[in-house]
Homo-oligomer: A and B are copies of this chain.
Amino acid sequence: MERNQTAFVILGILAIHPNQSGYEIRKTVQQTVGFFWGESFGQIYPTLKRLLADGLIIPSASGSKTRMTRQEYSISPSGLLRLQEWLAVPYREDPPRDEFLLKLFFGAEVAPNVSATHIRRFQEQNRKVLSTLLELQALGRARSAHYPGFPFWILTLNYGVAHLRASLEWSENALAVLAALETPHSKNPHSEEDIPGKP
């Protein structure tokens, strides 16, 4: 019945790195799985309470870092079991919704330049994320290679990198197609561009 995925993100993060506060958990999420998963405080804090009530996490006194008002948590044995249970269940694929592709799909209703603008933004965004992932990869190899989770982290990073590269390659071609749409072959004496469409 458990649909609240936030609970499992928290459990998983605490399994890797215990003694974290809600604030820290969120930061960790952003820094590790951020490129394919997001969590908001409005979700984290209530879930933390529920996990505590269910005995899946346990409070741990803030040992050292700061003496600020904060509550740290660690995963409990039953929490780990719960996490492992969930990990064994087939992932559910939620209906994808990609607004970028949707706007592109309806591109014929507006000037080609509108779609080109979306694609250029998409390109920039992907380049940015790609560079941070590559940094993460380098950093990870230097810092986390001894963790048991390391091979899995690299796998997800590779996935991200592969998809970002596919996106970037695709967008080069897409921009070329749109440019050809804007300059129809007959009107312009200087243009001999043939449309990319590779077989």
Residues of A at under 8 Å CB distance from B? 5, 8-9, 12, 15-16, 32-33, 35-38, 80, 83-84, 86-88, 90-110, 114-115, 117-118, 121-122, 125, 146-149, 151-156, 158-159, 162-163, 165-167, 169-170, 173-174, 177-178, 181, 199
* A106 in contact with B91 (CB, 8 Å): no
Contacts of A100 in B (CB 8 A): 91, 93
A71 to chain B, nearest CB (A): 23
* A148, closest chain B residue (CB): B108
A197 to chain B, nearest CB (A): 8
Question: Taking A98-B36, A173-B158 as contacts, is the C-beta distance between A105 and B153 under 8 angstroms?
Answer: yes
Question: Taking A33-B102, A173-B158 as contacts, is the C-beta distance between A118 and B97 under 8 angstroms?
Answer: no
Partner of A12 from B33, B106, B165, B169 at Cβ < 8 Å: B106
Q: 19 new A-B pairs (CB below 8 Å) besides A88-B110, A91-B102, A155-B174?
A: A5-B99, A12-B109, A33-B101, A37-B97, A37-B102, A38-B97, A84-B109, A87-B103, A87-B107, A88-B114, A91-B118, A93-B125, A101-B159, A104-B155, A106-B149, A107-B155, A162-B167, A163-B167, A166-B166
Contacts of A174 in B (CB 8 A): 155, 158-159
